[in-house]
């Protein structure tokens, strides 16, 4: 059966790779793009075989038309409440009106079902959308991939290559953190989009590494001895982030303010996958070490 998949967010990093993976699997791929999306990116999508439909998330009629005959809507949208809650809800309404049976929301993060509301603002938006979609008559599947492996290249405290330090929290030296590359997440999401029998949640990781293991990986990659630095408890870290968030209210309107980045780090040390669904599809996975090479 020829699947028709509608991708929202195709002009983004994950969405573009997802379109390619879907096309490679023989799917017909439609993408809703904005008038304001980069012309070169839209042209590239069309060149590789994606049908682009120019519309806005506010245009329910055009979204519903875009969903006609679609077997799964996949959202890789990035944004705040207007996108993750309001925009995705519009897309959901259109999908249901058009009779689309399945919807994969733009989660692609640490397993937020293990986290309390307030722990991570961007995950709270996903939790809000989760409560909306779970009330509707459509098959929803969230993909939890932990962190994208490339975030380790951003000089975050977990792998500070400038100071050769690896931060960890009390009792978490051997705590495994889930990492998956963008490529592997895109490939897995494409396979899931074409699989009519996916469960509500799929949990994946190309690698699960602890701070202690990161020291050994860093030694092999950079030839240097990285120092482990204990930062206190995750509970104290949460209190500190709360204080910074209160002091920086303008960050509420930004996607990645400094306190949000701290919330991601907090989340890495507070939730991880007990079991993985990696083997559901025949894919090969890039390890953290290989991805950092
Ligand atoms: N686990 C992790 O470590 C990690 C890291 C990064 C991202 N993520 C998640 O992965 C997913 C994809 O992220 P990404 O990095 O691929 O994002 P991205 O490159 O920033 O792309 C975002 C996409 O959303 C679209 N978009 C944004 N605002 C919109 C609006 N108001 N109306 C319509 N479209 C809009 C953009 O369209 P335009 O091109 O028109 O702007 C673009 O296609 C998100 O859920 C994100 O939170 C996870």
The burial of 282, by beta-carbon neighbours within 10 Å (0-12 exposed, 13-18 middle, 19 or more buried), is given as: exposed
Query: How much is the pTM?
Result: 0.98
Structure tokens given for 214: 């990161």
The pLDDT assigned to 161 comes to 94
| 4-145+180-204+274-280 topology per CATH | Rossmann fold (3.40.50)
Query: In this structure, what token pair is assigned to residue 181?
Result: 């590359």
Helix, strand, coil: what percent of the chain each, to 5? 45, 15, 40
Q: What is the pLDDT of residues 28-61, one digit of tens each?
A: 999 999 999 999 999 999 999 999 999 999 999 9
Each domain of the chain, given as residue ranges in start order, spans: 4-145+180-204+274-280, 149-175+208-268
The model's pLDDT over 194-207, given as tens digits with 9 standing for 90+, comes to 999 999 999 999 99
Instruction: Using the mean position of ligand 1's atoms as its centre, give its distance from the Cα of residue 163 in Å.
Output: 31
Question: Any bridge partners for residue 73, and if so which?
Answer: 6, 103
261 lines ligand 1 (CB under 6 A): no
Q: Supply the residue whose CA is at minimum distance from atom 19 of ligand 1.
A: 12
Which contiguous run of DSSP H or E holds residue 95?
Answer: helix 88-97
Give mean pLDDT, residues 108-112: 98
Average pLDDT over all residues of the chain? 97
Q: What is the mean pLDDT of residues 221-235?
A: 97
Ligand 1 centroid to 187 CA: how many Å?
17
């Amino acid at each position: 059966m020829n699947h028709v998949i509608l991708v929202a967010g195709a002009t983004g990093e994950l969405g573009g790779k997802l379109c390619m993976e879907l096309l490679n699997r023989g799917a017909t791929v439609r993408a809703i793009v904005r008038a304001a999306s980069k012309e070169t990116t839209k042209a590239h999508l069309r060149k590789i075989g994606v049908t682009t439909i120019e519309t806005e998330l506010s245009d329910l009629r055009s979204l519903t038309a875009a969903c006609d005959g679609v077997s799964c809507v996949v959202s890789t949208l990035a944004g705040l409440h207007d996108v993750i809650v309001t925009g995705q809800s519009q897309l959901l309404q259109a999908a249901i009106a058009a009779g689309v049976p399945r919807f994969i929301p733009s989660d692609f993060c640490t397993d937020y079902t293990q986290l309390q509301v307030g722990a991570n603002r961007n995950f709270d938006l996903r939790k809000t959308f989760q409560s909306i979609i779970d009330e509707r008559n459509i098959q929803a599947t969230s993909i939890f991939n932990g962190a994208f492996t490339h975030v380790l290249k951003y000089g975050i405290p977990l792998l500070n290559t400038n100071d050769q330090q690896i931060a960890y929290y009390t009792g978490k030296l051997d705590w495994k953190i889930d990492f998956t590359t963008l490529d592997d997440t895109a490939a897995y999401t494409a396979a899931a989009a074409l699989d009519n029998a996916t469960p509500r949640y799929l949990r994946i990781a190309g690698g699960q590494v602890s701070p202690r293991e990161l020291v050994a990986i860093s030694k092999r990659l950079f030839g240097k001895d990285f120092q482990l630095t204990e930062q206190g408890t995750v509970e104290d870290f949460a209190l500190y982030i709360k204080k910074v968030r209160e002091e920086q209210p303008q960050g509420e309107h930004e996607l990645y303010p400094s306190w949000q980045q701290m919330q991601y780090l907090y989340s890495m040390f507070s939730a991880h996958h007990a079991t993985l669904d990696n083997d559901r599809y025949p894919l090969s996975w890039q390890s953290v070490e290989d991805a950092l090479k």
